[in-house]
Amino acid sequence: MIRTAFQILILTAFIALSCEGARAETASPDAAAANAAYAAKDWGKAAELYGHITAAEPKNGRAWYRLGVSLHGKGEQEQAIKALEKSIENGAPNFQAEYQIALCHASLKSNDNAKQYLARAVQDGFGQPELMMSDAELVGMRSEASFQKLVEQATRNQKPCAYAAENRQFDFWVGEWNVVTTQGGVSAGTSKIERILNDCVILENWTSLNNPYQGKSYNTYNTSLKRWEQFWVDNSQGMIHFYGELKDGIMDYWTDEIPQGDGQKLKRHLQFIPQGPDRVRQFSQGSTDGGKTWMVEYDFTYNRVK
């Protein structure tokens, strides 16, 4: 899936946070010791050392975040909340700090505030439902319907493509296949189609029969353009970009008019036609006159390996 602007911002925040941390480790002699204490969960020592770092570098969002976590570990919840709020002001990803603030409020038995910050964290992209179900601070609210709803949303954040209907439209092609020509049933190759990257991408692995030709395609639903896209690459420097939609049960792909070596421009039309649960027809046509006439490039039938 092509990343949304929100996802890019989150990644940028993580990168910025890491860079701040790297600068802190170079600038402060306390950094290595602070990181070691943090890893060992020696919260008292970690809080003391990160306190030194934030005093010297008040814009270090990573240090503020770790100071907040350490203070929470020490049981100093009010001070922890202040440090975590500082981490947000200085570049820490909102959802990360908001979740920790929720734990602080839960430790103070302020469940309404805890749920408020959990809701913020989930809204901002928090995607670790396993933590919500294991962190001891939240045990008192796990049976509540509102909490379970937040866990469900965090699960969706963790694997958004597994739950979006559009992302599942091409699932009929997933599997292992023996491929033959539709006319005559001559063996043409094998293909393994699998979901990868948290179900956001359908990866094709094609191997031709009796020749060294191999290729892969990456198929994903582009949420920004509301369309499916395929990027085909192979071992002969080939690359094709398709785009289209599921139309009447058929995955219908097209290309732009692409210049060819002979000076012509080739437009392609590629269709994946399900024919029951264990068979898919792949039909490709090309046009060099702007779509007025079409020639068959190949016509394959995929038979599922059982």
pLDDT digits (tens), the chain, 306 positions = 333 444 444 545 444 444 444 443 444 558 999 999 999 999 999 999 999 999 999 999 999 999 999 999 999 999 999 999 999 999 999 999 999 999 999 999 999 999 999 999 999 999 999 999 999 999 999 999 999 999 999 999 998 898 889 999 999 999 999 999 999 999 999 999 999 999 999 999 999 998 999 999 999 999 999 999 999 999 999 999 999 999 999 999 999 999 998 999 999 999 999 999 999 999 999 999 999 999 999 999 999 998
Residues 155 and 195 in one domain: no
Q: What is the CATH number of the domain that holds 171?
A: 2.40.128.20
Residues 35 and 147 in one domain: yes
Which residues, in sequence order, are CB contacts of 117 under 8 Å at separation 6+? 98, 99, 101, 102, 105
Residues 176 and 156 in one domain: no
Residues 284 and 175 in one domain: yes
Beta strands in the chain (DSSP E): 175-181, 187-196, 201-208, 214-222, 227-234, 239-247, 250-254, 258-259, 265-274, 279-287, 295-304
Residues 144 and 178 in one domain: no
Q: What SS3 class is residue 118?
A: helix
pTM over 0.75: no
Dihedral (Cα; 137, 138, 140, 145), 10-degree rounding: 170
pLDDT at 20: 44
Which residues, in sequence order, are CB contacts of 118 under 8 Å at separation 6+? 98, 99, 102, 126, 132, 138, 147, 150
CA distance linking residue 174 with residue 160, whole number of Å: 18
Residues 137 and 181 in one domain: no
CA distance linking residue 234 with residue 254, whole number of Å: 18
Residues 205 and 144 in one domain: no
Residues 182 and 290 in one domain: yes
Beta strands in 125-213 (DSSP E): 175-181, 187-196, 201-208
Tokens of 106: 């839960």
pLDDT at 162: 87
Q: Are the beta carbons of 213 and 237 closer than 8 angstroms?
A: no
Tokens of 86: 């500082």
Range of the domain at 83: 5-160
Tokens of 50: 């990160």
Of 125, 160, 195, which one is at a domain's C-terminal end? 160
pLDDT at 217: 98
In the block, tokens 């909102």 appear at 94
pLDDT at 181: 98
Counting the structural domains of the chain, the total is 2
Residue 11's alpha-carbon distances to 3, 14, 153, 236, in angstroms, are 10, 5, 20, 34
Q: What is the CA radius of gyration of the chain?
A: 26
Of 119, 144, 160, which one is at a domain's C-terminal end? 160
